[in-house]
Amino acid sequence: MKFVIVTGMSGAGKSTALKMLEDQGYFCVDNLPVPLVGKFAELSFAPKSELNKVAIGMDVRTGLSGMEATLEGLKAQGYVFEILFMEANDQVLIKRFKETRRAHPLVMNGRVEDGIGKERELLRYLKKNATYIIDTSQLLTRELKAELDEIFSKNKGFQNLFVTVLSFGYKYGIPSDADLVFDVRFLPNPYYVDELKLKNGNDIEVQDFVMKSPDATCFLNKLEDLLDFLLPNYVKEGKNQLVIAVGCTGGKHRSVTLANKLYERLSAWQKYGCRIEHRDIEKDAHRK
Over residues 193-219, the pLDDT tens digits come to: 999 999 999 999 999 999 999 999 999
Residue-wise pLDDT for 120-169, tens only, equals: 999 999 998 999 999 999 888 888 998 888 888 766 556 678 899 999 99
Q: Structure pTM?
A: 0.69
Radius of gyration of the chain (CA): 22
Average pLDDT of the chain is: 90
pLDDT at 57 over 50: yes
pLDDT at 252 over 70: yes
pLDDT band, residue 279 (cuts 50/70/90): very high
Domain ranges of the chain: 2-153, 162-287
Domain 2-153 sits in CATH at: 3.40.50.300
Residue % of the chain over a pLDDT of 70 = 96
